[in-house]
Structure 1
Amino acid sequence: MKLVGMLDSPYVRRVAISLDLYGVDFEHLPLSVFSTFKEFSKINPVVKAPTLVLDDSTTLMDSSLILDYFEHLAPAEKKLLPQSPAARAHDLQLLGLALAASEKTVQIVYEHKLRPSEKLHEPWIERVTGQLLAAYSALEKQLANPPSEPLTQATLTAAVVWSFTQHMLPDAINTEAFPNLQRNADLAEQHSAFRKYSIE
Structure 2
Amino acid sequence: MKIIGSVTSPYVRKVRVVMAEKKLDYSFELDNVWGADTRVQETNPLGKVPCLMMEDGSAMYDSRVIAEYLDTLTPVCKLLPPNGRERADVKVWEALADGVLDAAVLVRLERTLRPREQQSEKWIERQMGKVHAGLHVMAKDLGEAPFCMGNHYTLADVAVGCCLGWLLFRFPEIEWRGEYPNLARLFDKLSERQSFKDTVPFEP
* Shared fold per TM-score greater than 0.5: yes
CA distance in 1 between partners of 2:30 and 2:180 (Å): 31
Secondary structure of 1:4 counterpart:
strand
User: Retained in 2: the 8 A contact 1:5–1:49?
Assistant: yes
User: Retained in 1: the 8 A contact 2:32–2:38?
Assistant: no
User: Retained in 1: the 8 A contact 2:6–2:30?
Assistant: yes
Structure ranking higher in helix proportion? 1
CA distance in 2 between partners of 1:9 and 1:167 (Å): 10
Instruction: Tell me the residue number matched to 1:59.
Output: 59
User: Retained in 1: the 8 A contact 2:90–2:156?
Assistant: yes
* 2:156 corresponds to 1:154: yes
Instruction: Tell me the residue number matched to 2:29.
Output: 29
Secondary structure of 1:56 counterpart:
coil
Matched residues, number:
198
1:80 to partner: Cα distance: 0.2
Moved over 6 A (4+): none
Which residue identity is paired with 1:112?
R
RMSD: 1.7
Which residue identity is paired with 2:85?
A
CA distance in 1 between partners of 2:38 and 2:167 (Å): 28
Q: Give me the TM-score of the superposition, normalised by structure 2.
A: 0.90
* 2:192 corresponds to 1:193: no
Instruction: Tell me the residue number matched to 1:14.
Output: 14
Instruction: Tell me the residue number matched to 1:91.
Output: 90
Gaps of at least 5 residues in structure 1 are: none
Which residue identity is paired with 1:192?
Q
User: Retained in 2: the 8 A contact 1:101–1:132?
Assistant: yes
1:46 to partner: Cα distance: 4.1
Secondary structure of 2:38 counterpart:
helix
User: Retained in 2: the 8 A contact 1:159–1:181?
Assistant: no
The change in CA–CA distance for 1:45 and 1:100 in structure 2 (over 3 A counts) is closer
CA distance in 1 between partners of 2:38 and 2:31 (Å): 10
Secondary structure of 1:73 counterpart:
coil
CA distance in 1 between partners of 2:36 and 2:67 (Å): 25
Instruction: Tell me the residue number matched to 1:82.
Output: 81
Gaps of at least 5 residues in structure 2 are: none
User: Retained in 1: the 8 A contact 2:31–2:38?
Assistant: no
The change in CA–CA distance for 1:53 and 1:36 in structure 2 (over 3 A counts) is farther
Instruction: Tell me the residue number matched to 2:102.
Output: 103
CA distance in 2 between partners of 1:158 and 1:41 (Å): 27
